[in-house]
Chains A and B, each alone.
Chain A
Amino acid sequence: MTAIHLHNVQFRWAAQMQNTLYIPELSVQRGDKVFIQGHSGSGKTTLLNLIAGIHCPQQGKVQVLDTDLTVLSAMQRDRFRAQHLGIIFQQFNLLPYLSLLENVQLPCQFSSQRKAKAGNIMQTSLHLLDELQIARSMLHKPVNTLSVGQQQRVAVARALIGQPEIIIADEPTSALDTENRQRFLDLLFSEIEQRASTLIFVSHDPSLATHFSTHIQLAELNAITLSV
């Protein structure tokens, strides 16, 4: 079963004449853990924006979980993203004016189906935070007193709540030190396994690739770079 399928996708910024991204073919199966390697500026964030439905390609088809995002309106894509995707950034994942728990529960506020899948939201969020080794005593601390490692793990909890089918992680470990990095990856994989989610993990660091079943070089994927 296909989780993500890109076909003949071409994307350029509004002001530009030339394409930034040209992907003839990309296919990801459900349950796959895909490592996409690319340095910054290679178009990896653009790719993630397309998969997440933030932007639409000028040409081609972006199919996520049997839905063609290119035929949806912007608001429909927003709702799709709320329901089926969990996204983790490199840093600054959390809203400073919400509590830890409120941050984790944020996706449920924007999608009723996701909220339904989460069941008892309080229990689910506490459970997730436990699994991600966030101590109960940290729960009422303001978000910006947490260490980067803790913040990233809370971000994982937020991405996972309500069991979205696809998790996208954009350089989630780049701000962590080696010890925290390993811990983060272990926990992330353990959660993904439990839920059989699909993982798209983007990074510039090739040493991380060993954990993943599929390894894609963005430079090879993006036909723009090939033609140069």
Chain B
Amino acid sequence: MILIKLAAKSAWNRKVSLSLAMVSIAISILLLLGVDTIRKQAKNSFINTISQTDLIVGARSGSVNLLLYSVFRIGNATNNMSYQSYQDIAAMPQVKWTIPISLGDSHRGFRVMGTNQDYFRYHHYGQQQPLLFQQGQAFDDVYDAVIGYEVARQLNYQLGQEIIIAHGLVSTAFSLHDDKPFKVVGIMAKTGTPVDRTIHISLRGIEAIHVDWQTGTRSAIAVSADQARTMDLQPQTITAFMLGLERRIDTFRLQRQINQYRAEPLLAILPGSTLAELWQTVGQFEKILMIISSLVLVSGLIGLLTTLLTTVNERRREMAILRTVGAHTYHIGLLFTLEALLVVAGGCGLGLILFYVTQILMQPWLATSYGLYLTISFLDVQQWLILLIAMILGVILSLLPAWLAYHYSLQDGLMVKI
């Protein structure tokens, strides 16, 4: 239709000022869609990371803190707990299975976790899915390692690859356990959880690499890899452990028992309820982010409105020309609305592109720093609604300049008295 063509050409003619309005709208769409996506996906991702675990136990600190470092590998434990306490609790009749874990080392940016073979038997995620091997098998020898899907993919590791573990999370030349290399004997299938980004070794392996280290540095007396193998590698401490019960009913009683454990201060949490606790805090934050993003959209639209309004006066001559060739007065107003719609639609389109590009760029960083596994997918109904509302708001705001233009063209007729 001629009006759409005129609106498009007129907008293109003023593309510099209009494109600024369009970019600002695009940024607000990026924010709105981004906040909405992270909100939904974070919740899903966190919920899916662990399942079928009744309690998580660690040294007494905050419950959210314990959940974050034990399951999501975010943050660090303030204290370790004794292996003795672990054994005592594991021996209790109500406890069906346990998985001890030991954190603190890393390899080329990926966390190293010490555990035992029970991990591969009892750890579940998502919809009660067990851990599966893509290649190889669980560790057997002291210096065996099993790596997650992402570790293998990013570092291009195959079975048999030799890896050096670094002490702590930052690898410098002084902190490498380079006298005790490990060998990759298993690569796990993809889970979409922090397991993918973890290197698993046995608890004995953890003990072996630290046998000649004291309070974080290498001691003067070196112990070779083979020597260490022959030593008694029973761990003294672990970071935390997960447990599953024979009967669900015992959950709260056992939790209380552990929290009141006399031998050392411990904390037992229910993963589900601690997650809900975390989500309450995050939920407030989400709401505020959405409100801020909406305000950014409104300010972008007002910027567009300002641009259109300032041009109404300048364009009265154009409007007179259109009237002489037979355009109706409402056509004149409609032109402004169509232009606004084109700019907002363009802003939405650009915003969508920015949204997907940002997701692709941020995917790895979100996974490493926050354990959030972003799935890039099409927009859901709510998100299409956001775009629709943006366009409707644009049309509504454009009614002001449109009405003004209509009003002037009624008055002016053939002669514009400026």
Contacts and interface: CB of A to CB of B under 8 A. Distances in A.
Interface of A: 45, 48-49, 52, 54-55, 74-75, 78-79, 81-83, 85, 87, 89, 92-98, 102, 106-107, 109-111, 158, 170
B381 interface: no
B212 to A, nearest CB: 79
Given A45-B414, A49-B414, A95 B321 contact: yes
B141 interface: no
A97 B12 contact: yes
Contacts of B328: 74-75, 78
A31 to B, nearest CB: 22
Closest 8 CB pairs of A and B: A82-B326, A97-B13, A110-B326, A54-B413, A45-B415, A87-B324, A49-B413, A109-B2
Contact of A54 (B2, B13, B317, B414): B414
A83 B318 contact: no
Contacts of B87: none
Contacts of A96: 13, 318
* Chain B interface helix/strand/loop/mixed: helix
Contact of A98 (B9, B323, B415): B9
B325 interface: yes
B326 A78 contact: yes
B329 interface: yes
Interface string B306-320: 000000000001101
Contact of A45 (B10, B322, B324, B413): B413
B327 interface: yes
A167 to B, nearest CB: 12
A93 B321 contact: yes
A49 B411 CA distance: 11
A48 B324 CA distance: 11
B317 A92 contact: yes
27 contacts: A45-B413, A48-B415, A54-B323, A54-B414, A55-B413, A78-B326, A78-B327, A78-B328, A79-B326, A81-B324, A83-B326, A87-B324, A89-B414, A94-B321, A95-B6, A95-B318, A96-B13, A97-B9, A97-B10, A97-B12, A98-B6, A98-B9, A106-B325, A107-B325, A107-B326, A109-B325, A158-B325
Contacts of B326: 78-79, 81-83, 107, 110-111
Contacts of A158: 325
